[in-house]
């Protein structure tokens, strides 16, 4: 059975289930998803949204993501049943649950670390990412100061970096457990950008600096988390 992908998408194609499609763009939230899929060697179709032309605000895409943002996924099983999801944190958890069968980069519900993994993943997504997203967009894309001024963003970032640094010291250099997992992948995408856009120095946060180097040195992570 071949399925016509989402109705109205001008680049829709007939695809043979099962398949996984990732709607994304050149942004850290999208890089989180593609990084995990590459680490897991999961085949996926990349639907690059032309955000400059507002493709992510078109009616057909709003049926996938009602707020017109990236990333989102459409995961179709062998029988043609489709799961459509948006929000990078929940997409990471869904993909880990379905495709990380050996639990190399995630903890499952039978582990006491499962909820800690979700806690740090969501903390980054809810607290750090909106600050860095605004800073990134204004400073690096529009080349202007963010609303309220850059200092407010630096202050908030330093507050979050202290939380991160304390956690990494407390947990021997990892947010959760003792190796790379979806919490790290979720957190690092925007943190890397903030260091660039806000000119944050990590000298006062040595555990974060050390973690960032260790994670980006892992084969396939450094390049992918920056969009390569
Ligand atoms: N909390 C969402 C944030 C998604 C988001 O803000 N995506 C940005 C790119 S990083 C976007 O699509 N911005 C375009 C817009 O808001 O018009 C997630 O984690 O997926």
Candidate from 69, 88, 128, 133 with most ligand 1 atoms within 8 A of CB, to mutate: 69
Residue 105 tokens read as 């980069």
Distance CA 225, CA 21 (A): 19
142 shares a domain with 80:
no
Q: Is residue 104 part of a domain?
A: no
Q: Cα(69) to centroid of ligand 1, in Å?
A: 5
| Ligand 1 proximity of 180 Cβ (cutoff 6 Å) | no
Distance CA 19, CA 224 (A): 21
194 shares a domain with 93:
no
122 shares a domain with 49:
no
How high is the pLDDT of residue 193?
Answer: 80
How high is the pLDDT of residue 197?
Answer: 80
Distance CA 34, CA 47 (A): 11
| Ligand 1 proximity of 87 Cβ (cutoff 6 Å) | yes
Q: What is the CA radius of gyration of the chain?
A: 18
Q: Cα(25) to centroid of ligand 1, in Å?
A: 10
pLDDT means per 10 residues, the chain with 228 residues, are: 76 90 94 97 96 94 97 96 97 98 97 97 95 86 89 93 98 98 96 83 95 94 86
- In this structure, the residue with its CA closest to atom 3 of ligand 1 is 87
Distance CA 83, CA 85 (A): 6
CATH number of residue 180's parent domain: 1.20.1050.10
185 shares a domain with 125:
yes
How high is the pLDDT of residue 23?
Answer: 97
Domain residue limits at 180: 113-225
């Amino acid at each position: 059975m071949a399925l016509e992908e989402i109705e109205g998408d001008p680049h829709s194609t007939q695809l043979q289930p099962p398949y996984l499609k990732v709607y994304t763009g050149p942004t850290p939230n999208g890089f989180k998803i593609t990084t995990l899929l590459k680490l897991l060697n999961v085949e996926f179709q990349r639907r690059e949204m032309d955000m400059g032309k507002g493709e992510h605000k078109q009616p057909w895409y709003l049926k996938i993501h009602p707020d017109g943002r990236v990333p989102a996924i459409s995961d179709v099983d062998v029988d043609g049943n489709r799961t459509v999801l948006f929000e990078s944190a929940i997409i990471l958890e869904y993909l880990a649950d379905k495709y990380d069968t050996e639990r190399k980069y995630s903890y499952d519900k039978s582990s006491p670390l499962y909820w800690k993994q979700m806690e740090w993943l969501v903390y980054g997504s809810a607290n750090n990412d909106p600050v860095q997203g605004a800073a990134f967009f204004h400073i690096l894309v529009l080349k202007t100061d963010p609303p309220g001024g850059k200092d407010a963003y630096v202050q908030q970032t330093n507050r979050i970096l202290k939380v991160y640094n304390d956690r990494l010291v407390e947990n021997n250099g990892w947010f959760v457990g003792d190796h790379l997992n979806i919490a790290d992948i979720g957190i690092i995408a925007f943190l890397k950008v903030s260091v660039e856009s806000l000119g944050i120095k990590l000298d006062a946060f040595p555990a974060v600096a050390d973690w960032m180097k260790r994670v980006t040195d892992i084969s396939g992570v450094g390049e992918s988390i920056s969009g390569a």
